Amino acid sequence: MSQATDSLKNEILICHRCALAGSRNHVIFGEGNTDAEIFMIGEAPGREEDLLGRPFVGKSGQLLDKILDACGFNREEHVFISNIVKCRPPDNRVPTPQEAAACMPWLIRQIELVDPKIVIFLGATALKYLAGSNLRITRERGNWLLWQKRLAMPVYHPAALLRDPSLKRETWEDFKKIIYKYREVVDPHHYSAHI
Ligand code: SF4
């Protein structure tokens, strides 16, 4: 981890910019390679994440890891994962616009430091708060957007796939596009066992 990332992490870990600080066990900085070319953004930490201090470690996280594995990606090398807010909203509710706005500068600084070629919005909340409240995940998923001068793609959140497994087929089509794009802009020899 670079010195800049390390000092950003130290700042974030003591953040009290919004009310979520009052009920958290951990601030979830994020996880993965801080030089990754793919930056994934989910919604918010859940119960397991809050207890363990790591993002995407519950059932959604396990499914995300399976999808990444099918793509030939992993957290150690290819991706960095964070969320719209870094502290758990009570009862896993969706972060409010005020909470998202308070936490956004942290996320933007993280993205600037990681400097990825590809950004993935995991689900409706990330899409709404990052790209615009008029955008619908059902319409935008699988389409490349230009976001902050970076390639970005919205996909369904893994929790949505757990609720409705019929979405898995479309999601795999979206991740195939991400693999092709990774080969195009990062590594032409990137290996996936499936495509
Ligand atoms: S959610 Fe973000 S802004 Fe709110 S206290 Fe946690 S780190 Fe700070």
Dist. CA 131 → ligand 1 center (Å): 20
Ligand 1-lining residues (CB < 6 angstroms): 12, 15-18, 20-21, 27, 85-87, 99, 102-103
| Ramachandran angles phi, psi of 178, nearest 5° | -65, -40
Dist. CA 64 → ligand 1 center (Å): 24
Structure tokens at 72: 């030939």
Task: Express each pLDDT in 56-77 by its tens digit.
Answer: 999 999 999 999 999 999 999 9
Strands (E), the chain: 31-32, 38-42, 79-83, 118-122, 145-147, 150-155
What domains, with CATH codes, occur in the chain?
3-183 (3.40.470.10)
Q: Which atom of ligand 1 is nearest to the CA of 15?
A: 8
Task: Express each pLDDT in 109-150 by its tens digit.
Answer: 999 999 999 999 999 999 999 999 899 999 999 999 999 999
Strand partners, 41: 82, 121
